[in-house]
Chain A
Amino acid sequence: MQFLSDNSDLLWSAFLTTLSLAVVSGVCALVLGTVLAGMRVSPVPPLRGLATFYVEVFRNTPLTVVFFFLAFGIVQIDLQFPSRFITAVAALSLYTAAFVCEALRSGINAVPPGQAEAARALGLTFGQSLRQVVLPQAFRTVVPPLGNVWIALAKNTSIAAGFAVTDLTAALQRLANANADQLLSVFAAVVAGYLVITLPSAWLIRVVENRVAIVR
């Protein structure tokens, strides 16, 4: 315990880094993923193709490789992110957006066709029926899968440690190297840090799900 309180500053700032990585990338991924999902069901074929291409590429690329490219590859086209943190946010958002899109699309598919038909019959345009009829229901059905994507994202932030972001995992590596005799408490503290993010999220997802669920 003495050991943990000695390093509480490092652990606390590492925890905040992990949390803000997860939150910022989560929001970006949600926005980008929603746009992608809209593209995938849109009437314009090139948009559909582009979104499908995006999802397939990112689904089949390891997150580590995405990180890698943004950290070391894009320098070659004269782009550079202002900080390591933003590189990590970009990698996590781009990667996660593909899965947000997949989760949302499954939600869109779960909306009964009759709803969309009725919207069409009322004369709503594609954009209107998507925004006012289909997407609101889709979002409510996909609360659990989207929540799970967010939890997976929170765990995936650990990869940022490999790219010089001082998050919980990086703190783990640093403390473990310096305190070989305290390994177990180091691991316990860091795992607890992740659980503090994921377990309440899981609980919150269940609450929200129960509140907004659509009875079909």
Chain B
Amino acid sequence: MSSTVLFDLPGPRARRRQRIGTVVGALVIVALVGLALYRLYANGQLEGDRWAVLFDPASGVPQALGEGLLNTLSVAAVGMVLATLLGALLAVGRLSDHRWVRIPVGVLIEFFRAVPLLILILFCLLFLPTVGVPMTAFRALVLGLTLYNMAVLAEIFRAGILSVDRGQREAAFALGMRKTQVMTLVLLPQAVRRMLPVLVAQLVVLLKDSSLGFIVSYLELLRTARSLVEFFNFSFGNRYTFQLYVAAGLIYIIVNVLLSQLAKYVEKRTRRSAKAAAVDDVELPADVQMGGGGGTVTKA
């Protein structure tokens, strides 16, 4: 439904009201932003050299932030690849004809979706070393992200496999293919291709979740900003705190917006190409976008 159905094209009086509303609203916003800026100014936060430190290679800040971003991206990349592979495997398992495969896989998926991601990461970090698996913050973070995201992706892939036209499956069987061949040669490639925009969108969620590394002291972007602040606090006091946090936040937003745009672009491409008739709804559900553990109610 286009939102215009909810209201008529505004007439002269409504337009005047809207203009007044617009001006008043704009004034309120400008006043709030101005007040915030004024407070910042009064506290000296807007001084040029406080911000210049972000771009000054001599201070080591841009390098450190770059390294933090790289650490964040490498966790996300490794996690994404592992989660995609395992997720595809689990999706196939959940669609299996054998009950003894289907049910345990279903339980596994539900379990990893039901537990908060941070608890999974802490479990990997704290428990696995006691049973002889050597752990680092990086490994625990990647493992936690993988376990959670593979469960989410498994459900996404399952929807993708089910969305491939029935006739394809029947034709493949008619050609004498075995079940494994039908899945790996016919269904999965099409499902993955259709789900490509969703995979990219899930990358945004994973990237956001990688900031949980902050809590387990992995030197990702946020933790890097924090340790830079602590370092500077030692010699300059509170001088660069605000700037560094703003920088870290902005980097996240920029990278994620770029990724979201990429997802939209990929979606357009897949929709255009006749080979992979894209499914209609590739938006991730709101709760999956929230990261940290999607909901547990699956659609019937």
Residues of A in contact with B (beta carbons under 8 Å apart): 40-41, 43-47, 50, 56-57, 59-65, 68-69, 72-73, 76-78, 95-96, 99-100, 102-103, 106, 108-109, 111-113, 116-117, 120, 125-126, 129-130, 134, 144-145, 147-153, 155-156, 158-159, 161-162, 169, 172-173, 176, 180, 183-184, 187, 190-191, 194-195, 198-199, 202, 205-206
Contact = CB atoms under 8 A, between A and B. Distances in A.
A41 B5 CA distance: 10
Contacts of B43: 76-78
B295 A112 contact: no
Given A99-B287, A152-B295, A169-B118, A64 B5 contact: no
A62 B289 contact: no
B249 interface: yes
A191 B3 CA distance: 43
Contacts of B222: 62, 64-65, 68
A46 B214 CA distance: 36
Nearest to B123: A187
Contacts of B114: 194-195, 198-199
Contacts of B18: 43-45
B183 to A, nearest CB: 29
B249 A183 contact: no
27 contacts: A43-B14, A47-B25, A59-B289, A60-B252, A63-B292, A64-B214, A64-B215, A65-B211, A68-B245, A68-B249, A73-B246, A77-B40, A77-B43, A99-B287, A109-B1, A113-B5, A144-B299, A147-B297, A148-B296, A149-B295, A152-B294, A152-B295, A156-B292, A158-B292, A172-B122, A187-B119, A194-B116
Q: How large is the interface on B (under 10, 10 to 19, 20 to 34, 35 or more residues)?
A: 35 or more
A113 B5 CA distance: 7
Interface of B: 1-3, 5-8, 10, 14, 18, 21-22, 25-26, 29, 36, 39-40, 43, 45, 114-119, 122-123, 126-127, 130, 204, 207-212, 214-215, 222, 226, 241-242, 245-246, 248-249, 252-253, 256-257, 260, 283, 285-297, 299
Nearest to B118: A158
Contacts of B285: 103, 145, 148
Contact of A102 (B10, B215, B289): B289
Shortest 7 CB-CB contacts between residues of A and residues of B: A148-B295, A155-B293, A60-B256, A148-B287, A62-B211, A162-B215, A62-B208
B116 A46 contact: no
A158 B116 contact: yes
Contacts of A129: 6-7
Given A61-B252, A116-B1, A194-B119, 9 more contacts: A44-B25, A60-B260, A63-B292, A77-B36, A102-B289, A103-B287, A155-B116, A162-B215, A169-B116
Contacts of A191: 115, 119
A60 B215 contact: no
B119 A76 contact: no
B242 to A, nearest CB: 4
